[in-house]
Amino acid sequence: MQTIDLAPTLLDYFQVVIPEDMQGKSLKGTVEKDEPIRKYALFGIHGGHVNMTDGRYVYMRAPVEPENRPLYNYTLMPAHMRGLFKESELLAMELAEPFSFTKGFKTMKTPAQARSEAHPFGTLLFDLERDPGQLYPIKDSDIEVGLLEEMARLMKDADAPSEQYERLGMI
Q: Could you read off the pLDDT of 40-97 as tens digits, one per residue?
A: 999 999 999 999 999 999 999 999 999 999 999 999 998 888 999 999 989 999 999 9
Same domain? For 134 and 169 the reply is yes
Structural domain of residue 1, as residue ranges? 1-38
Same domain? For 1 and 78 the reply is no
Q: Average pLDDT over the chain, rounded to whole?
A: 93
Same domain? For 5 and 84 the reply is no
pTM beyond 0.85:
yes
Measuring CA to CA, which residue among 63, 43, 42, 59 is closest to residue 121? 63
The pLDDT of residue 32 is 92
Same domain? For 120 and 47 the reply is yes
Same domain? For 85 and 167 the reply is no
Same domain? For 54 and 104 the reply is no
Same domain? For 56 and 77 the reply is no
Does 1 have pLDDT greater than 80?
Answer: no
Does 21 have pLDDT greater than 90?
Answer: no
Decide: 128 and 56 in contact? Cβ < 8 Å.
yes
Measuring CA to CA, which residue among 161, 170, 64, 61 is closest to residue 112? 161
